[in-house]
Structure 1
Amino acid sequence: MSLPLTGLRVIELGQLIAGPFASKILAEFGADVVKVEPPSGGDPLRGWRLIHEGTSVWWAAHARNKRSLTLDLRTPEGQEIIRQLACDADILIENFRPGAMEKWGLGFKDLHAINPKLIMLRVSGYGQSGPYRDRPGFGVIGEAMGGLRYLSGEPGRPPVRVGVSIGDTLSGLHGVIGVMMALRHREQQGGLGQEVDVALYESVFNMMESLLPEYSKFGAVRQPSGASMPGIVPTNAYLCKDGRYALIAGNGDSIYKRLMESIGRPELANDPELANNVGRAANVERIDQAISDFTCQHDLDSVLELMNKAGVPAGKSYDAADIANDPHYQARDMILEAKLPDGSSVAVPGIVPKLSATPGQITREAPSLGQHTSEILDALGIDATKQADWKSRGII
């Protein structure tokens, strides 16, 4: 089956999370992704978190469907190989600090001159312009500047991070969106590529909902609120009898009524003052207390069963074990197996989004370092003698 991005050639110069996450998605839907890694050690993510046989198990998910080419981009030979690859590429992805690619003669103007159809996705902390462009920026800094860290946590306590590198993956997603739009533009406008400039802080800021409009209109600086969502009522985490928490979102008008009736509070269900969100927001303590009074008398499973019967959105906080054993995850192919180099297997996330006619696929396992170097250089016409010389000099 031909996938939607079959035939697209992608050069990935990024490391760690943001850029590689974008190319992972493109690869899952058919793009041929050549991942360029430094010969010494490769992408640092290979050594992050829990390690099996010398490589992070995260790598099995993060680098699947890609081919690995080792190349020292600081050398003239390495830079020339990128130019040769760029001649026939559709997309180049990089997440170096702004200016690094230009210093190597690999900036957008340089590569666009030899391949006008090339689309370059550039992911950086602060973007390719502006007074902060030269500052180093990781996802944590983007999350802070974008407003997410300030809102995360309990009132009066230090901000906390989301347990994953959400700023990086949000940037990768925005990058994919930008690349898809640039491809569409290229189809419509005579085959010309363009730059896609994605900043980590902007990707986070784009998710901040009413944060800026509320400040602009009312001078309101939104504050951290723990498990609740201020101004949208009821939605919170409610303690149950067995010490676990039920997450209940009864903030639709009809849903709210069903929620209150299901917990035996018809007077709250039928109170005209609470019929819409404006009234409920003004009475959040009263409503949350009523729900808590109910949940603390019942265990979590009983609460969730009741909420499901009443048609009220509710759930529990899943940990890794919950996810791995959940039948819904399994039914939707969201738990897949990948093979590791030693022949053992590891569970990895499935593919998102799900297309009905051309669903994404895993066609190759995550590569070992430099696994496809000779294959790629052979295709460029670089003979074995030169490859051996470059390898001895640490260029590949």
Structure 2
Amino acid sequence: MTPSPQPLGGLRIVEGASFVAGPSAGLALAQLGADVIRVDPPGGGSDFLRWPLSSTGDSLFWAGLNKGKRSVTIDHRTEQGRELLLALATAPGRGAGIFLDNMVGRHRLTYDELRARREDVIHVHLQGRSDGSPAVDYTINAEVGVPQMTGPQGVEQPVNHVLPAWDLLSGMVVASGILAALLHREREGQGAQLELALADVALAGVGNMGWLAEAEMRGGPRVRQGNHMYGSFGVDFETSDGRRLMVVALTEGQWRALRDVTETGAVFAALEQALGADLSQEGDRYRLRETIAAVLRPWFAQRDFGTVRELLERAKVLWSPYLDMAEAARAARADETSVAAEMDQPGIGPLLATGRPLRWAGTGAPPVPAPRLGEHTEGVLSDLLGLTSEEIGRLQDAGVVRVSGDGSQQSRRPSSPELPPGAPRQRGLPARA
């Protein structure tokens, strides 16, 4: 098997972030070869035990978003821990000096503190709102109008989403921002202070799709329309054996394929003539969506799912079956081209996980297990900061760090590491006891 490309090899990012946006950015960079060092407080951060949980009580959420990273535990709220984190974030090296965080409160590291240690540091700070006030995906989504557009017709209350879309999108903006800052540093020799607010990402998202302008121009919000796709034709149908599927006709060719396989061309030609419509135009297909769906619905209702699937595939209609998450997992396991594969996650065991979705020269990358909490604390502190085993032991005794060299979550005294010859000792490290 051809080795997976590691285009970001040699890049090191210190990640002091929890939940989805920051960790998903670190994950995307790690899957391209970057060395991402996630820093949590001893005992884990606020997302360390976030649901869903495995049968062992470990977080599948945490394991999924931290695949392929290194884990270090530091209590940055202490003076010694703060110095350790500053030293890690500003360590020398062409691909180092990058710090990503969503920390809040008086204990968070600031750009000025980081820049005082390394002039060309790159600092990306994630926050809820640009003024620093708190917000999360589910509160932001409420205020950009999406829940009022979601759900069946005739429902008055908002319908919340399940997918944290703005978090995931923010993570990708952060990843692209880090790479842009690196290119800027290579060209100009300058660092960068980057700030990203979840609220800004969400507002930009709906704005970029024209939804804000649409609401102002029409003098009110878009009405709910259930499972109908806005602006074109797309809706769900039920087969004779109770299976549901989504059918979409965005292009003229897709509309023609759907019309031909259902043998409804004559019906729609008559409708076009009677209503003065041109169903080769997606705007007219959207305007007449209810009529089109009513014409097509009996064709699906008279056939079982297997027959419908075979006919739609042969006709190259754009469609997909509705699957629940368990069915989606089974489908992913059965698909040899899927980015999902089984991996052995320490503390949990075999589980279905996903690798890098970006295929480089046709090659993906399999999932790499997430670390155990604090698994790399000793190695990182010794290799990157030059601490001795005795110094690390004293830091652990003081509760500043937690070392978990055996992969467990239990504290233990570290064994003596082998230090590289001439390992550099950074300024700003805790004073020796």
CA distance 1:327–1:168, shift in 2 (3 Å): closer
Structure 1 position 180, deviation (Å) = 2.0
Tell me the distance in 1 between the aligned counterparts of 2:257 and 2:344. 47
Q: Which of 365, 368, 375 does residue 369 from structure 2 map onto?
A: 365
Q: CA offsets per residue over residues 108-131 of structure 1, 9 Å max, x none?
A: 12212322332222221113x3xx
- Structure-1 residue corresponding to 2:428: none
Which aligned pairs between 1:11-160 and structure 2 lie closer than 5 A? Answer: 11-88=14-91, 89-97=96-104, 100=105, 103-104=106-107, 106-127=109-130, 129=131, 133-134=132-133, 136-157=134-155, 158-160=157-159
Alpha-carbon distance change, 278 to 370 in structure 1, aligned in 2, over 3 angstroms:
closer
* SS of residue matched to 2:103: coil
Q: Deviations over 1:55-111 (max 9, x none)?
A: 1233332211111111111111111111111222332111124xx3xx337211221
Indicate the SS of the match to 1:46: coil
Correspondence for 2:417: none
- The CA distance in 1 between the partners of 2:247 and 2:113, in whole Å, is 54
The aligned length equals 384
Deviation at 1:43, TM superposition (A): 4.9
Segment of structure 1 superposing worse, 32-41 or 6-15 = 32-41
Provide the C-alpha distance between the structure 2 equivalents of 1:125 and 1:342, rounded to a whole number of angstroms: 32
User: Offset of 1:370 from its aligned partner?
Assistant: 1.0
Question: AA paired with 2:238?
Answer: L
The Cα shift of 1:247 comes to 0.4
Alpha-carbon spacing, 1:4–1:360, altered in 2? closer, same or farther (3 Å): farther
Task: Tell me the SS of whatever aligns to 2:352.
Answer: strand
Aligned to 1:331: 336
Contact 2:262 2:299 in 1 (8 A): yes
Which runs of 5 or more residues in structure 1 are unaligned? none
Percent identical across equivalent pairs? Answer: 28
Please tell me whether the aligned partners of residues 343 and 350 of structure 2 are also in contact (alpha carbons under 8 angstroms): yes
Instruction: Give, in whole Å, the separation in 2 of the partners of 1:69 and 1:257.
Output: 57
SS in structure 2 of the partner of residue 93 of structure 1: strand
Instruction: State the one-letter code of the partner of 1:353.
Output: L
Does residue 355 in structure 1 map to residue 360 in structure 2? yes
Give me the TM-score of the superposition, normalised by structure 1. Answer: 0.89
In 1, Cα distance between the equivalents of 2:182 and 2:223?
Answer: 40
Residue of structure 2 equivalent to 1:221: 221
Distance 1:317 1:67 in 2: 37
Structure 2: unaligned runs, 5 residues or longer = 402-433
Aligned to 1:206: 204
Equivalent of 1:303 in 292, 302, 308:
308
What code does the residue aligned with 2:142 have? Answer: A
The 1-side partners of 2:348 and 2:21 are apart by 29
> Which residue identity does 2:205 align to in structure 1?
M
> Which residue pairs with 2:253 in the alignment?
254
Determine helix, strand or coil for the equivalent of 1:301: helix
Shift of 1:5: 0.8
Report the Cα distance in structure 2 between the residues aligned to 1:259 and 1:92, rounded to whole angstroms. Answer: 51
* Structure 1: distance between partners of 2:280 and 2:23: 47
Matched, 1:175 2:174: yes
